[in-house]
Amino acid sequence: MTKAKVAVLISGRGSNMAALVYAAKAADCSYEVVLVASNDPDAPGLDFARAEGIATFGHSHKGMKRAEFDAIINAEIQKSGAEYIALAGYMRLLSPEFVSQWEGRMLNIHPSLLPKYKGLHTHERAIEAGDAYGGCSVHIVTAELDDGPVLGQTQVAILPGDTPDDLAARTLIAEHQLYSRVLAGYVRQEIEG
Ligand code: GRF
């Protein structure tokens, strides 16, 4: 079975990336992770990827222009042979050049039920609004932040007395399941046409 090659971009602990890596170990998974790259060379997720035998790349964006930094990351991604990108807690806005080059082949996970609560502090905003549910969404990345077509979502009940951290912890479990399932389905559809 031909597997699609995926590069995962992270900025921190990389638990969603880890979930994508574990899911890819199933023989019938439609993708494999060929690179984990980060804008923080000390991101803990890079250690995890190295331990799993995956190529890694870490380079600080500090003091660099956005497009200049994205070109460096892009060169590594091209070198890895990746055909898709999965953003997983990548806390950098992307340059328009980078986004257009990967149009339709770059996904992101966002911890809200989009189109609600784009950007940061999603759990706090959902609780403050009195919502019955938070959740997470996987979407195609477009030029607008957290705005591209949604490919899948999971609702997560908000419990009375939930703090943003409580809700974030439960939502993360949902994220880990949703992301690998949606990514695998998306690339399979692309492979099989
Ligand atoms: C996740 O909640 C993700 O949805 C958000 O940032 C967090 C990253 O966590 N974009 P991790 O690095 O995957 O553990």
CA–centroid distance, residue 157 to ligand 1 (Å)? 19
pLDDT in tens, the chain (193 residues): 899 999 999 999 999 999 999 999 999 999 999 999 999 999 999 999 999 999 999 999 999 999 999 999 999 999 999 999 999 999 999 999 999 999 999 999 999 999 999 999 999 999 999 999 999 999 999 999 999 999 999 999 999 999 999 999 999 999 999 999 999 999 999 888 7
Query: Is any atom of ligand 1 closer than 6 Å to the C-beta of 40?
Result: no
Expressed as residue numbers, the domain containing 166 is 4-192
**pTM for the predicted model, two decimal places:** 0.97
Atom of ligand 1 nearest to the CA of 12: 12
Number of structural domains found in the chain: 1
Report the candidate in 30, 35, 34 with the shortest Cα–Cα distance to residue 4.
Answer: 30
CB-based contact 107:151 (threshold 8 Å): yes
Tokens of 127: 């609780």
> Considering only CA atoms, which residue is closest to atom 10 of ligand 1?
89
Please tell me whether the peptide bond between 111 and the residue prior to it is cis, using omega within 30 degrees of 0.
no
Query: Is any atom of ligand 1 closer than 6 Å to the C-beta of 14?
Result: yes
Here the CATH number for the domain that contains residue 42 is 3.40.50.170
Residue 81's Cβ-count burial label (10 Å; 0-12, 13-18, 19+) is exposed
Tokens of 124: 């706090």
Query: Is any atom of ligand 1 closer than 6 Å to the C-beta of 135?
Result: no
Quickly tell me which residue has 């974030």 as its tokens: 168
- Rounded distance, CA 70 to CA 146, Å? 18
CA–centroid distance, residue 89 to ligand 1 (Å)? 4
